[in-house]
Amino acid sequence: MVAQMKQAEMQQWVEQQKSWVEDAKADAEYGNDKFDESIAVAVKARDSFGTSEFNEMLDSSGLGNHPEMIRFLHRVGKAISEDSVVVGGTTTSQLTREAVLYPSMQN
């Protein structure tokens, strides 16, 4: 009976892990087409701030598959990522550069 209970518990744990992975892959914020890239960002955060004990805890508990843990690590990874260049658009101002930089010197 104990063996059956352990087997049922293990099966439930496996099913929970599968469900979490499916939910994470379908997540609107980091899943679908962005999933592989998002996981790479999350792994960067985990490796930057987590210890080997933290990684072991995520693996042994299965929490590394939980959608909210992935969301958290993804957001941390994005926050520590290098800044990107923002390209400016066209300006709507009719002022010259000089007028913008030195407004008090205009007539």
pLDDT digits (tens, 9 = 90+) for 77-87: 999 987 767 67
> 52 in a domain, yes or no?
yes
> 101 in a domain, yes or no?
no
> 103 in a domain, yes or no?
no
Over 80: is that where the pLDDT of 71 sits?
Answer: yes
> 49 in a domain, yes or no?
yes
Q: What would the two tokens of residue 42 be?
A: 């999350």
Provide the residue range defining the domain that includes 63: 23-81
> 53 in a domain, yes or no?
yes
pLDDT score for 101: 81
Over 90: is that where the pLDDT of 97 sits?
Answer: no
pLDDT score for 7: 94
> 94 in a domain, yes or no?
no
Q: How far apart are alpha carbons 49 and 43 in whole angstroms?
A: 10
Q: What is the total count of domains within the chain?
A: 1
The residue among 27 and 106 whose pLDDT is bigger is 27
pLDDT score for 90: 64
> 32 in a domain, yes or no?
yes
